[in-house]
Every structure is written in C-alpha cells, then in structure tokens.
Amino acid sequence: MFADLIRLINRRPPDDYERGFVREVSVSDRSPRNKRVERVLAICWVLIVVKSFAVVWLFGHYHIPLSPLWVIAPTFVFAALCTVVYLLRD
C-alpha cells in the first residue's frame, strides 16, 4: 500500500502498469450446461423406460382392453419436449 502511495507521489507508473488492465473479454452466446440438470434428465429417461415396460407388462397381465401406447405415448412426447427445450435453450 505504501509502495503505491510513493509511486503516486513521485508520479512514476508502476513497472507492471499494463498488466493491470483487461485486454480482451470473450462472451459465449450460450449459457453453460448444468451437469446436475442433465443428470436429472438422464434419470428421468431411465424411469420412463422402466415405466413403459411396467405398463406393457401390467396391461398384458391384467388383460386391460386398451393399448398401452395411450399411457406411454404422452409420457414419451412430453419428456422429449422437455429435453429438446433444455438442449435448444438460448
């Protein structure tokens, strides 16, 4: 602190005067990906696959007169929509 004061009084620029300034700033257009969110998305996709197999098995086991795609398709479509929105953000 006193060394800077003495330089100020003597009006001599410091030896590393040019290094104290920012020369370049680069800004990325996209925000960085969040590893935690990507891990949650991956876990959710695994759960959707498990749910799909469970639904197909349950519909066949209990002879439900409905196609399992009525349950699986909306789940898959909305999960795909959420994943695409996350990947194409910004």
Rg (CA), the chain: 30
Contact by Cβ (8 Å): 49, 80: no
Q: What percent of the chain has pLDDT over 70?
A: 77
Could you read off the pLDDT of 45-74 as tens digits, one per residue?
A: 999 999 999 999 999 999 999 999 999 999
What does the chain come to in residues? 90
Taking the C-alpha atoms of residue 55 and residue 5, their distance in angstroms, rounded to an integer, is 76
Contact by Cβ (8 Å): 71, 62: no
More confident call, 2 vs 79? 79
pLDDT given at position 9: 74
Task: Report the predicted TM-score, pTM, of the whole model to 2 decimal places.
Answer: 0.66
